Each structure stands twice: as C-alpha cells, then as structure tokens.
Amino acid sequence: MFNFRSPSFKKLSLDPESLQDKDMVERMLQEPRLIRRPVVKIGRKVYFGASADVLADILKS
C-alpha cells in the first residue's frame, strides 16, 4: 500500500530497501500521498492502486 512511485516519495530521496514497515506507516500518516490509491474494499479484500479495468474484472467475478 506504500506508493514508492509517488512524487512525494521521490522528493524524500530515501532508499526503499532501508525502510521498515514501522517507518512506512509513520511516513504515510505524515504524508497521505504516499498511500497507493485508489483504496477499494470489495467483500473482505482490500485493493490498493488497482486500475478501473482491474476493478471492473474483479466485480464481474
């Protein structure tokens, strides 16, 4: 759910390999743009960053 491709992340100039889960959660709380969007819950599953086409296929299933 952490968006490593976000311009906000790129501005931080951090090494993705050096981030631990705790660090990523703290950064997402400080900067919500680091969360992959859209966030969609379908049933019991949550999808992060899925395209409209992917979500449409999931809904057809």
Rounded Cα distance between 61 and 18, Å, is: 38
| Per-residue pLDDT at 4 | 96
Domain ranges (residues) in the chain? 7-60
**Res 47 pLDDT > 90:** yes
pLDDT over 70, % of the chain: 100
Determine if the peptide bond prior to 7 is cis (ω within 30°).
Answer: no
pLDDT score recorded for residue 1: 94
Going by pLDDT thresholds of 50, 70 and 90, the confidence category of residue 61 is: confident
Q: What gap in Å lies between CA 29 and CA 23, rounded to an integer?
A: 10
pLDDT tens profile 32-42: 999 999 999 99
- In this predicted model, what pLDDT tens digit does every residue of 5-18 receive, in sequence order? 999 999 999 999 99
